[in-house]
Structure 1
Amino acid sequence: MKHLSKIVLATIFLFGLTSVKAQDADNPWAIGIGVNAVDFYPTGEDAPLGGFFDEYFNTGDHWNILPAVSKLSVSRYIGAGFVGELSGTINQIDKYGDRSVSDLSYYAADLSLDYSLRAMLNTGWFDPNIGIGGGYTWIGDQDAEDISNLDSFSLNGKLGVNFWFSDHVALSVESKYKEFFEVETASHFQHSAGIKFIFGGKDTDGDGIYDKYDECPEEPGLEEFNGCPDSDGDGIEDRQDACPNEAGLAQFDGCPDSDGDGIADPDDDCPDTAGLAELNGCPDSDGDGIRDGDDNCPNEAGPAENDGCPWPDSDGDGILDKDDDCPNEAGPAASNGCPEPSAEVISELNEYSKTVLFDFNKATIRSESEEALQSIVDIMNEYPQTIFHVEGHTDSVGAEAYNMKLSKERAASVEQWLEENGVPANRLTSEGYGESRPIATNDTPQGRQENRRVEISLDKDREMKQ
């Protein structure tokens, strides 16, 4: 008993009182090791025996105890709280009732069916049980005539308690009554105490959750996830976690959002810099719709076709270089950013146009006017984006309708000559104004001569013809 006490104390120290499990379907097997005491006295009414249960706890006078491990047992859970147990015990008998005898050898093999009251009592570590069974006991020969031939089959009944210190270890104590069939006076009580170890539950991954309950039996996991792991510790089991090795948020299926922009890192092209969903999580500092990494001017809004930079206006004329036919020379929008002829140039053109002569009452240009017309062509081609307007005018002599017709035809003749000699047609327009725009009096020959003229001006009201 002294050695058993040390074992019990060591077990309590190692395992402590925790939430425990008894022998059940998860851990069906158990082995036990302990000591036993045999007491013949409180089993009858004839000397040398006492009355039934008389002096039941008189350990000093009646109990036979072998000071060594003297009991081994193996048991298996059957179901519904029932356990079958096979036990073997040895002892030395020197007290037979109230008599002393020479040391008798004692061997017993017993089989029992036990029922646990633990579930019925709704307890945890306290596990009382009752059992019934039978066995055979061998008690060695001795000289006393009245206690010879004690070997016999027996019918056994027992009451015991298991005190569970952990999931797999219990202190087990029991008291068993053995009713002998062949030698009635040899019936006796056998008490035992020891340690019981349960085992047999399969836990492949060693996570404390048996395979039959473990949804991930080959990966150590957590009880709250039925044995499945949560590798990154974010509270989302790996099976449901799109990023099982990075702690994340449930709203992102377990993935992190490192930059806090509301876009999970796996879907974020710029996971360390807060950005916009429409740009896959990348920033657009200047708001031009081009993410900074692809924007050559990330702090200045600009179009994609210019790599995110604003279009330049090299000549400062208010027309972007991309729309400016003359990006290095300032000019108005009417001439697509190219410079227009100055007043001096227009005056020069008209000095040449004054020398253009026509046949009398005709629109045919006289040959001596071609030199002046070629000078006009040369000047016009210096301004490739300018649209020139050719005007035809007459004096007031003759019918007004005739004068209008003649002025239109002469203006058209000049326009045609210029086109045929190098000025693109889309840069020329013409119109006749008849006698409606005199620049001198029509009362004198000199004045009428000045009124019969061709003038050239800028056509600012029309776009260049294609």
Structure 2
Amino acid sequence: MKNLSRLLFAMLLVFGFSNTYAQDENNPWAIGFGVNAVDFYPNGDGAPFGEGFGDEYFNVGDHWNILPSLSTISVARHITGGLSFGVTGSINKIENYGEESVSDLSYYGLDGTFKYGFLNTSVFNPFVGVGGGYTWVDEIGAGTINGSLGFNVWFTDNIGLTLQSSYKHAFEDYLDSHFQHSAGITIKFGGKDTDKDGVYDKNDACPDVFGLAMFNGCPDTDGDGIEDSKDSCPNEAGTAEFNGCPDTDGDGVADPDDACPEVAGLKELNGCPDADGDGVADGDDKCPNEAGPAENNGCPWPDKDGDTVIDKDDKCPDIPGTVANNGCPELSEAVQKSLNEYAKTILFDTGKSSIKAHSEEVLKNIIDILKEYPNAKFTVEGHTDSSGSDSLNMKLSESRALSVKDYLVKNGIDEFRLSSKGYGETKPIDSNKTRAGRANNRRVEINLVK
């Protein structure tokens, strides 16, 4: 009990050390339990590495003193990288003191060691150590300087087997230098994992939120393999192509950007379909199965007269015409000729511009023709023979042309479509030397304005 009390006292001193040390970056403390063996036969005349030094290093039966119970306890904390500092307390009973046999001498050791470990991320972790301490044999103590070699074999992240061999060189003649070997279990602890996700806070990019090791402790709420911080849809499983968002209808437009997420559509229409291919999404298309322009809500423009000129561009929407004439009928040469055949038969009172009553039937035929071409414009031209003065003939032709124009306007022809002009005797179509020729020259013509 006396020996155990001393060992426990030594451990209390160990636990009182400053917490500025660390065992590793995530588990700041490590405690070890095991057994130790003391060998007072390093030889070499007490000088390390002298002749014969370590010749009987493995002579367990003749030189090793082993206490077959818990005889070593250690506590350590890491400083930086692979460097740590630890304190070890040990007890033993000495029966072999070099080449001599003694009677159960007590052995106590309290040692501080700086260790440098290699391959710290590996299951196998070798280390070297240097330090010093104080050793008592039969209650007589002396200081030592120590050098150590050993390795850890980690069964888990926190539990491992530690094997170590130290050479303890004594400063006093009354204590011989010796080897001390130890084997035991080391347990690392003290790592902080606030969110309990198995990733220590030091390495946890999201220390307050339960996460996954593959994302440095950050969560992937929807389980799509994209961590929430990089996931545009953290609560809906998606694909990397769409930054973690789904594409329910498989049209290549992510659901948040898809105006029609349940129906496959076109990217240029924000994921909505266009059944008739007119560039107007079906939801906005009043004629989804007939192609039409957007300005007509996706419906084809009407063409009431069927002349292939749509009504909005058709200046004669109710009368079939030609594209060249903006949907209005074109006056053919035959119709123009027929129009003037009628016009030639309009008769006036002699020397006057008043139209004779029996010309009304002819004028009615002219009006019917003009109404068939509602977009066409015409000039009413008056002509005379050479009888009389030029000035009187000019005035007479002008007044007769105007008289015909006024008649047409009063009977339903838009005034803006008509103009009138007199040419007098300047444009004869026959000889003025004969009665028949002069009769032909006295005429009215109605010509299309081109």
Matching residue of 2:148: 159
Matching residue of 2:434: 443
Alpha-carbon distance between aligned partners in 2 of 1:44 and 1:371, rounded to the nearest angstrom:
154
CA contact (8 A) 1:174 1:192 kept: yes
Question: Are 2:392 and 1:414 aligned?
Answer: no
- Give the direction of change, closer, same or farther, for the CA distance of 1:433–1:69 in structure 2 (3 Å limit): same
Matching residue of 2:88: 87
Alpha-carbon distance between aligned partners in 1 of 2:198 and 2:172, rounded to the nearest angstrom:
50
Determine what percentage of the aligned residue pairs are the same residue.
46
Matching residue of 1:30: 30
Matching residue of 1:77: 78
Count of paired positions: 412
Moved more, 260-269 or 402-411: 260-269
Of the three residues 238, 246, 260, the one matched with 1:246 is 238
SS of the residue corresponding to residue 328 of structure 2 reads: coil
1:112 deviates by 1.2
Mapping 1:85-164, distance limit 5 Å = 85-91=86-92, 93=93, 95=95, 97=97, 99=101, 101=103, 108=108, 110-116=110-116, 118=118, 125-135=124-134, 137=136, 150-156=138-144, 157-164=146-153
Amino acid at match of 2:131: I
Structure 2 residue ranges without an equivalent (≥5): 1-21, 46-51
Alpha-carbon distance between aligned partners in 2 of 1:320 and 1:41, rounded to the nearest angstrom:
116
- Give the direction of change, closer, same or farther, for the CA distance of 1:217–1:300 in structure 2 (3 Å limit): same
Matching residue of 1:145: none
1:371 deviates by 6.4
Alpha-carbon distance between aligned partners in 2 of 1:335 and 1:215, rounded to the nearest angstrom:
72
Amino acid at match of 1:159: S
Matching residue of 2:6: none
Alpha-carbon distance between aligned partners in 2 of 1:53 and 1:347, rounded to the nearest angstrom:
139
Alpha-carbon distance between aligned partners in 1 of 2:434 and 2:202, rounded to the nearest angstrom:
125
CA contact (8 A) 1:335 1:385 kept: no
- Give the direction of change, closer, same or farther, for the CA distance of 1:416–1:185 in structure 2 (3 Å limit): closer
1:425 deviates by 0.8
Structure 1 residue ranges without an equivalent (≥5): 1-21, 46-50, 140-149
Matching residue of 1:423: 413
1:289 deviates by 5.5
Alpha-carbon distance between aligned partners in 1 of 2:60 and 2:223, rounded to the nearest angstrom:
58
Cα displacement string for residues 349-403 of structure 1 (whole angstroms, at most 9, x for unaligned residues): 9769846534x5343x269579669957974785454545433232332234532
Alpha-carbon distance between aligned partners in 2 of 1:94 and 1:452, rounded to the nearest angstrom:
159
Query: What is the TM-score of this pair, normalised by structure 2?
Result: 0.65
- Give the direction of change, closer, same or farther, for the CA distance of 1:24–1:88 in structure 2 (3 Å limit): same
CA RMSD of aligned residues (A): 5.5
- Give the direction of change, closer, same or farther, for the CA distance of 1:126–1:322 in structure 2 (3 Å limit): closer
Amino acid at match of 1:29: W
Question: Are 2:306 and 1:316 aligned?
Answer: yes
Amino acid at match of 1:172: T
CA contact (8 A) 1:36 1:193 kept: yes
Alpha-carbon distance between aligned partners in 2 of 1:52 and 1:317, rounded to the nearest angstrom:
119
